[in-house]
Structure 1
Amino acid sequence: MNSSILQKVVSFACISVFFSINAQQTNAPRFGKGLFNLVGEDSTWTMKVGLRFQTLASSSWDAENGLSNPSSSMLIRRSRLKFDGFAFSPKLEYKIELGLSNRDQSGASEYTSDAPRYILDAVLKWNFYENFVLWFGQTKLPGNRERVISSANLQMVDRSLLNSRFNIDRDIGIQLRHKTKLSDNFLMKEIFSISQGEGRNITTGNEGGHQFTGRIELLPFGNFENKGDYKGSDLKFEQNQKLSFAFGYNINKNAVRTRGSQGSYMSTNEGLYATDISNIFIDAMYKFKGFSFMAEYANRDAKAPLAKNFDGTLTGDEVQIGNGLNLQTGYLISKTLELSARYTNVTLNRNITGSGAENQYTLGVSKYISGHNLKVQTDISYTDIGSKTNELLYRIQVDMHF
């Protein structure tokens, strides 16, 4: 039996064990709140088990001279198992998320022992003093807002071009989180992170330096309903205006990948090329009575972006430095139907990449059958790719979240 089949058998066996647990020890929550909940006999631990998947169909065309070179695809975009709860004390929480689809597991390399990357999140959260919480493990870094919003809670079919080019995604390390009440309504949240610097599921050790990330969020009108500052759409129809404005900074010391902790490794004739890579993120989320608006700006720079061999010749690898802007808005014309629009600009350094700016315009429609837990989303995008062929893209996706 090869390793792939063995892994699938083990995964199926684990799921079967969970579902065979005595019903008296579980309770079935309402739809969207997990498959079932487990509580320890002495109430010293809990576990909520969840499952979600997204089925995506898409078609694209070259849009230079009419619509030509059509292509289409259907796939399970995401399929994930989620476990969360507390252990020993409610002040010690945990989250585990496993990716089961091919897209979730992609990215195997020698630095991940050429193995599928099953683990998305595996993190402990310890509320050790008042409003201070220490996170330890692998999870999303406090980067751009759109990346931290769960893919289950997106306003459109998927995230923007800004996110795909500039996000810092997941890494393993520690995060210190704190929130401060500046007045009756004004809230400030602070996050600081130290992590390995090479992304998730690295098994061969740290090839470069470490990365340091800080983020401050200002909420002048108080908290959003149901953590709505990190959910797409105003499904709660905020009756009072809510705004979150944030600034983040990330620096990856001696980074060896083209996007810091993401992208391809920069190889030379004597090993890996390393340079300091920094990222700036500025973003905001506003919601009021079914209307939502999100804005993001991202910038990436590097101390020496062109990878060089020992003799000074260029390797052909380079850091993807540049800027990105994303503006996105939506309005719920009823409690279950939303219209949305997005404009995204990505401008990477032409001297390095050889390509111009990308501008993408997207219109979307979402039908929320049961909020984000069961929805159908569709959108159409036109992308002006500068020196390359422009593209028209149509997508439709069904999302189910137990």
Structure 2
Amino acid sequence: MRFFVTACLTFATALAFAQRKPETPNNDLKLSTIPYYSFGKGIGITSPDSLFQMNIRFRMQNRVTYLNEEDEKPAYDGQIRRLRLRFDGYVGSPKFLYAIQLSFAPGDVGEVQEGENINIIRDAVVFYRPSAKWSLSFGQTKLPGNRQRINSSGALQLTDRTINNARFTIDRDFGFQAHYLNEKLEKPSYNLKAALSTGEGRNVTNGSDDGVALTGKVELFPFGAFQRDGTNFEGDLVREANPKLLLSGAFQQNNLAKRTQGQLGDDLFAPRTMRSVLLDAMLKYNGFSLMSSYMSRSTSDTPITVNPLDATDVRYVVVGNGFDYQLSYVFPNDFELIGRYSIQKLGSEIKTFAPNTKEYSFGVTKYLREHAFKLQAEINYDDLDFADGTNRRNWYLRLQVEMGI
């Protein structure tokens, strides 16, 4: 406990003495399928004939967590949660772009298992951008899903995404995407996005099937687009002078998916066709930010699959739905207070396997250089209700440092 108290005091001291850094313009290339928020330029290389450009960026998240789970001894966990290296640029012409992102932290890569691929590659995608409004891509990257999943994990206000993102999101996949971007700062605007992908997730090479995933998304900006691509990072760091609102809806049908969460999860014993609905709203004004989302997954058949060699061994599609609500305010000194409430209900067919959950989170963040360099403290409380009537209550306290270029 002494170690954790010392860590808390050190973190609090850093918050108290941190100073606001001067602002640097962001000149990122517009890569609509991977709109990772990044504060600066990274390290850039351009060939003398201007036919080749490469930007190099890194970021890391180091954290320590005090865990208190019901019926378990309190424990500490210290880890490098994320360690990413990103390259992007163009070859031949700014119309032909590329983006590569590699991950090296254990939580990203996962355990090495016989017969399984190592998940170092997160993104490897090429783009053709014939005009400012159209973007066509081929390769592995994020699908046009819910807002918080599309946002980089480095652009979050709290240390992790919500419990509903963990269960119901659609994630990275290999395939084709087409985006039509019609964002205007002062006029009502919209974006249209579509994807045709394998439906099996990232770095999968263990066989093919005749099922594909079809994804479509609409984004509406009734009061015009956000300043500095403000939909791509949480919190109103730019302090919007006028209210800005995003309303979006996405739908995916993943035909004959092989994993419990479509692009994520363990392998099923039999394929299932899954349908996902993802709705988002984001409002920012004068330092305030309000976000709300709805996510659901359903199947065309029973979500439960059974091992043909052992009837007691089952694996199930994670069906159900959930709501997230998140409110925050950024003070002029770049301190931010964040509150979040999530509720998750699993489908009746699988309620005996996993609990329904309510999650309450409160965080304090000090931005040293916007999301690229920040200090975060978060306390999280989970209320789990099981089908047999039992209840568990778990909580944790976490400190995290995010740094990147």
TM-score normalised by structure 1 residue count: 0.85
Question: Within 1, Cα distance between the matches of 2:333 and 2:349?
Answer: 48
Equivalent residues in 2 for 1:28-107, closer than 5 Å? 32-63=39-70, 69-106=73-110
Equivalent residues in 2 for 1:231-270, closer than 5 Å? 231-267=233-269
C-alpha displacement of 1:130? 5.5
Hey, what does 1:17 align to over in structure 2?
Answer: none
SS at match of 2:48: coil
Q: Which piece of structure 1 moves more, 212-221 or 347-356?
A: 347-356
Question: Quick one: structure 1 residues 183 and 151, their matched pair in 2 at CA, closer, same or farther if it must change by over 3 Å?
Answer: closer
One-letter amino acid of the structure 1 residue matched with residue 341 of structure 2: Y
1:72-108 superposed Cα distances (whole Å, 9 cap, x missing partner): 1000000111111111111122111110111121165
Q: Does 2:398 correspond to 1:395?
A: yes
Hey, what does 1:201 align to over in structure 2?
Answer: 203
1:109-149 superposed Cα distances (whole Å, 9 cap, x missing partner): 56xx4332111111112112552210111101111111111
Count of equivalent residues: 362
Question: Within 2, Cα distance between the matches of 1:275 and 1:63?
Answer: 35
Hey, what does 2:367 align to over in structure 1?
Answer: 368
Structure 1: gaps (5+ residues)? 1-30, 268-272
Contact 2:186–2:223, Cα closer than 8 Å, also in 1: no
SS at match of 1:233: coil
One-letter amino acid of the structure 1 residue matched with residue 162 of structure 2: S
Specify which of 134, 137, 140 is matched with residue 135 of structure 1.
Answer: 137
Specify which of 345, 348, 351 is matched with residue 347 of structure 1.
Answer: 345
Hey, what does 1:356 align to over in structure 2?
Answer: 355
Equivalent residues in 2 for 1:83-232, closer than 5 Å? 83-106=87-110, 108-109=112-113, 113-129=115-131, 131-180=133-182, 185-207=187-209, 209-232=211-234
Q: CA RMSD in A?
A: 2.1
C-alpha displacement of 1:308? 4.1
Q: Does 2:319 correspond to 1:321?
A: yes
Contact 2:231–2:246, Cα closer than 8 Å, also in 1: yes
SS at match of 2:157: coil
Question: Within 1, Cα distance between the matches of 2:284 and 2:299?
Answer: 35
Question: Within 1, Cα distance between the matches of 2:146 and 2:376?
Answer: 23
Question: Quick one: structure 1 residues 72 and 119, their matched pair in 2 at CA, closer, same or farther if it must change by over 3 Å?
Answer: same
Question: Quick one: structure 1 residues 205 and 42, their matched pair in 2 at CA, closer, same or farther if it must change by over 3 Å?
Answer: farther
Question: Within 1, Cα distance between the matches of 2:183 and 2:63?
Answer: 42
Question: Within 1, Cα distance between the matches of 2:160 and 2:376?
Answer: 10
C-alpha displacement of 1:33? 2.3
SS at match of 1:98: strand
Question: Quick one: structure 1 residues 80 and 311, their matched pair in 2 at CA, closer, same or farther if it must change by over 3 Å?
Answer: closer
Contact 2:183–2:225, Cα closer than 8 Å, also in 1: no
Contact 2:245–2:281, Cα closer than 8 Å, also in 1: yes
Contact 2:257–2:273, Cα closer than 8 Å, also in 1: yes
Contact 1:306–1:314, Cα closer than 8 Å, also in 2: no
C-alpha displacement of 1:203? 1.8
One-letter amino acid of the structure 2 residue matched with residue 363 of structure 1: F
One-letter amino acid of the structure 2 residue matched with residue 274 of structure 1: P
Question: Quick one: structure 1 residues 83 and 313, their matched pair in 2 at CA, closer, same or farther if it must change by over 3 Å?
Answer: same
Q: Which piece of structure 1 moves more, 281-290 or 68-77?
A: 68-77
Q: Which piece of structure 1 moves more, 351-360 or 37-46?
A: 351-360
C-alpha displacement of 1:256? 1.2
One-letter amino acid of the structure 1 residue matched with residue 78 of structure 2: M
Question: Within 2, Cα distance between the matches of 1:334 and 1:134?
Answer: 39
SS at match of 2:350: helix
Q: Which piece of structure 1 moves more, 362-371 or 85-94?
A: 85-94
Question: Within 2, Cα distance between the matches of 1:329 and 1:373?
Answer: 21
Question: Quick one: structure 1 residues 368 and 309, their matched pair in 2 at CA, closer, same or farther if it must change by over 3 Å?
Answer: closer
Q: Which piece of structure 1 moves more, 327-336 or 43-52?
A: 327-336
Q: Does 2:271 correspond to 1:274?
A: yes
Q: Does 2:306 correspond to 1:302?
A: no
Percent sequence identity is 34
Hey, what does 1:382 align to over in structure 2?
Answer: 381
Structure 2: gaps (5+ residues)? 1-37
Contact 1:360–1:383, Cα closer than 8 Å, also in 2: yes
C-alpha displacement of 1:51? 1.0
C-alpha displacement of 1:333? 2.1
Question: Within 2, Cα distance between the matches of 1:142 and 1:286?
Answer: 20
Question: Within 1, Cα distance between the matches of 2:192 and 2:210?
Answer: 27
Question: Within 2, Cα distance between the matches of 1:36 and 1:181?
Answer: 28
TM-score normalised by structure 2 residue count: 0.85
Question: Quick one: structure 1 residues 143 and 372, their matched pair in 2 at CA, closer, same or farther if it must change by over 3 Å?
Answer: same
